[in-house]
Amino acid sequence: MTTAASQQADVQKEESMLLQKAMIGANFDALSTAHEEGKKVSSTFVPGNLNELLMCFDFVRNLPEINALQSAMRKKSGGYVMEAERSGHSEDVCSYVKSDLGMMAKGQLGPTGKPLPTPDVLLLSYTGCFTFMKWFELVRDQYDCETAMLHVPYQADGKITDNMRDFVVMQLKEQVIPTLERVSGVKFDIDRLRENLRESAKAEDDLVWVLQSAKNRPSPIDAYFGGIYYCGPIFSAFRGSKEATAYYVALRKEVADRIEQGLGPVTPEGVMDEERIRLVVEGPPNWTHFRDFWKMFYDEGAVVVASSYTKVGGVYDYGFRHDPDNPIETLADYCLGCYTNHSLPARVDMLCDYMEEYNADGFLNNSIKSCNSFSAGQLLMLREIEERTGKPAGFIETDLVDPRYFSPANVKNRLESYFQMIEQKKARGDSRTAA
């Protein structure tokens, strides 16, 4: 592939990507005019995102993580992070938080350049990440709006207990829903929730089909870089909406066509020619150099066939679907089941399953400075996975939205060495050879 092709004008996009771009753009537009139009605005996080519930109250839905990553992809987050640090936030803490706070300090313009409204309610779904709790305390400090706190217990022993589920359900019924009713002025209608959940389940079926299409050879998708696009609607302001369902129907058809034609994933430079290396990747991506980062993979014929990050907003490939017959309980199970709410042993099991099921050649860990929820323990996970699967494992370090922590030369160098190692092992026909 030519380097010229990597320039913006030549970037190739799938139809579904264009569809999603329009959806995201429309949501930012809706956010910018929400208060003028008399609508209320909610803010919440991707893991434990109760989008179906928020839709019941007609909130226009804002997700600060999405704002931060969108700002990073538009090269804006670096300035926001430094702005937050200038105002006293430590260089050691999460760059999503600092990007969000810096954006607020610099006039609260969203990634598309349009103003973001002050939220009317913060739905603090404390799911799988300690930082979320402090993040919304910090945001609350600035906005002075209501906060609905939902504490989601951690699945430390690899299972959801009745006590955990009851606790989440109780909070939803006794506190979260009444707060959302009060702030929105809309009475809760459980049938409306059921309808939204029905839509979610349809989209989830299609998403799982798309993600599992990577079991094909060649894989018709990249389940990390491409997978992030595929998860976009379901992780953000759209799960439970008819437009999300339509998006996933279109996406599924697109991927089915590629399988039929024996095509690989679509990259920013077109369809990948040759699949040489199949990887499972753990950890979030870097957003500030997203395309450069992806290019380091597809230039070497490396395709990601499964990733943990595409499970951060919900683990669906082990069978969970939102259940309209048990609407509140299913919201609890959804939150409890998000990837970073799983114990380390459960995460290791899941990643080993992926290595096997997706016939991967190697396991790569992208360790993120900002994200202790993901990162703490990853070096042990790496060893465990290498030992259990016998496949080579690699480790790189980047950050979410702080461009100072993406070192292109180092990352590329490490990746190239790692890919060479995999190819040498493959050439020798090695399998389960780890000491």
Partner 1 sequence: MALENIVERCQDLYEDLDFTSVRAWKEAGANRKVIGHMPVYVPRELIHAAGMLPVGILGGGDQLDVIHGDAYYQSYICRIPRSTIELAITGRLDCLDGMLFPSTCDVIRNLSGMWQLKFQDKLIRYFDVPQNFHRDIGGVFYTRELQGFRDALSDLAGHEISDDDIRASIDLYNKNRQVIAELYAYRSAEPWQVPTPEVYLLMRAGMLLPVDEHTQLVHDYIAAAKAVERPVRDNCRVVINGLFCEQPPLGLLKSIEMAGCYVVDDDFMLVARWLLHEVPMDGDPIHNLSDAFITYSSETSCKYVPNKKDKGKYLVDSVRRSGAEGVIFASPSFCDPALLDRPMLQNALAAHGIPYTAFKFAENSGQLQPIREQAGTFADSIKLWSAA
Torsion from C-alpha of 200, 204, 207, 211, nearest 10 degrees: 150
Q: How far is the CB of 162 from partner 1 (least distance, A)?
A: 9
Q: How far apart are CA 282 and CA 279, in angstroms?
A: 10
Q: Are 12 and 270 in contact (CB under 8 A)?
A: yes
Residue 267 CB, shortest distance to partner 1, in Å, is 29
Cβ-based nearer residue to partner 1, 372 or 407: 372
Q: Which is nearer to partner 1, 66 or 396 (CB)?
A: 396
The residue among 77 and 378 lying less far from partner 1, judged by its C-beta, is 378
As measured in angstroms, the least distance from the Cβ of 36 to partner 1 is: 26
Q: How far apart are CA 200 and CA 198, in angstroms?
A: 5
Choose between 410 and 424: whose C-beta lies nearer to partner 1.
410
* Cβ nearer to partner 1, comparing 127 with 245: 127
Smaller CB distance to partner 1: residue 103 or 266?
A: 103
Q: In the complex, what is the shortest distance from the CB of residue 42 to partner 1, in angstroms, rounded to a whole number?
A: 18
| Long-range residue pairs from 167-174, CB within 8 A, at least 24 positions apart, any chain | 168/331, 168/332, 168/335, 168/336, 169/328, 169/329, 169/332, 172/53, 172/328, 172/331, 172/332, 173/328
Segment (H or E) for 21: helix 15-33
The four Cα atoms 309, 311, 314, 316 give a dihedral, to 10 degrees, of 160
Residue 138 beta carbon to partner 1: minimum distance, rounded to whole angstroms? 6
Contact between 294 and 377 under an 8 Å Cβ cutoff? The reply is no
Q: How far is CA 74 from CA 85, 113, 269, 272, 291, in A?
A: 20, 10, 19, 25, 11
Residues that bind partner 1 (CB under 8 A): 87-90, 92-94, 97, 126, 129-131, 133-135, 137-138, 140-141, 144, 147, 149, 151, 153-154, 156-157, 163-164, 166-167, 170-171, 174-175, 343-345, 347-348, 367, 369, 372-373, 375-380, 384, 397
- Shortest distance, position 142 Cβ to partner 1, whole Å: 10
- Residue nearer to partner 1 on the CB measure, 24 or 351: 351
Compare residues 140 and 425 and give the one whose CB is closer to partner 1.
Answer: 140
Whose Cβ is closer to partner 1: residue 278's or residue 347's?
347
58 vs 174, beta carbon nearer partner 1? 174
- Shortest reach from residue 52's CB to partner 1, in Å: 22
Q: Name the residue type at position 151.
A: H
Taking CA atoms, 419 is separated from 3, 124, 364, 393, in Å, by 20, 41, 10, 10
Q: How far apart are the first and last CA of the chain?
A: 37
User: Which is nearer to partner 1, 130 or 318 (by Cβ)?
Assistant: 130
Q: Least distance (Å) from partner 1 to the CB of residue 11?
A: 32
Nearer residue to partner 1 within complex by CB, 131 or 196: 131
Tokens of 393: 């494992």
Residue 90 C-beta: closest distance to partner 1, Å: 4
Distance CA 363, CA 33 (A): 44
How far, CA to CA in Å, does 65 sit from each of 119, 207, 363, 420, 434?
14, 21, 26, 35, 38
Answer yes or no: are the C-beta atoms of 410 and 398 closer than 8 Å: no
Residue 88 neighbours by CB under 8 Å, 6+ apart: none
Closest separation in Å from C-beta 187 to partner 1: 22
CB atoms within 10 A of CB 25: 13
DSSP secondary structure, 97-154, as one string: HHHHHHHHHTT-B-TTSSBPPPPSEEEEEE-S-HHHHHHHHHHHHHH--EEEEEE---
CB of 109 to partner 1, least distance (A): 22
Give the helix/strand (H/E) hosting 249: helix 242-261
Give Cα 202 to chain centroid, integer Å.
19
